[in-house]
Each structure stands twice: as C-alpha cells, then as structure tokens.
Amino acid sequence: MTESNDKSKTNFAGVYFDRDSVLRLAHLADIFAWIALIYYAGQVAVSLTVFVLQIARGLLILPGLTDYAQQFLWTLQPALPGLWNFIGLQATGKALLIFMDMEDNTRRAASKGLFRLQKIEEKDTSR
C-alpha cells in the first residue's frame, strides 16, 4: 500500500478499510432491508386480496375451515423469506457499525494504555 501526503479522511490509522465506505455499506444494507420487506409485504397483500376476492366471487369453493386455513397459510408462506432477508440485512448493517465501534474503542484504549506506559517509563528513568 502506498501512503499519500493527503490528510486521511478517517480517524482509523493503520487499517485497511475506509470508514466512509463501511458506513455507506451499512446504510445500503439498511435501505435494501426495507426494500425487501416492502416488496414481500406487497406480495402478501396482493396474494391475500386475490384470495379474498376469489372467495367473495365464488371462484374458490373450499369445503371446510381447515381448507381455508391451509390456503391462508400458503398465502402467507412466501413472506417468510422476506422477513429473514430483512432481519439478516438489518443485522449485517448493525454488525458493521458495532465492529467499527469496537475497532475505534480498541484503538483508543490501546493509545491511552501506551501513553500510561510511556509515563511510567518516564517516571522510572527520572529517578
């Protein structure tokens, strides 16, 4: 890697990722999570509307309550992958932010510990 004379945009010295890129990626994961949820919710809404309209117009005649329940569950079943996609993408976005905070906190703690160690060494050498 080459070092540039420009001032770094991030406060993460010595790492191989760009803080702004990770923040953009986390933000995009959150956006795509909501897009997936809205898409699958729309799909369920359309399926339920078609199901209810078929029953109301007499196009779908089911003999019992369990048949209606089974058809209703089959209508809701495609929403489960959308829910898992939403949860997974939200967790990914939050995990990226958590890992960045851990990196920053670790560096801060290490730098404070290093300064303490230097102060202790200075006290020992001054005696």
Which positions ≥6 away from 76 have C-beta within 8 Å?
44, 48
For residue 85, pLDDT over 90 is answered with yes
Let me know if residue 126 belongs to a domain.
no
Instruction: Count Cβ atoms within 10 A of the Cβ of residue 121 and give its class: 0-12 exposed, 13-18 middle, 19 or more buried.
Output: exposed
What's the average model confidence in pLDDT over 96-107? 86
pTM of the model: 0.67
- By residue range, what is the domain housing residue 45? 20-93
Let me know if residue 105 belongs to a domain.
no
Structurally, how many domains does the chain consist of? 1
What's the average model confidence in pLDDT over 69-82? 87
pLDDT in tens, 31-46: 999 999 999 999 999 9
Handedness of CA 21, 23, 26, 28 (dihedral sign): negative
Let me know if residue 82 belongs to a domain.
yes
Let me know if residue 12 belongs to a domain.
no
Label residue 1 by pLDDT band (50, 70, 90).
Answer: very low
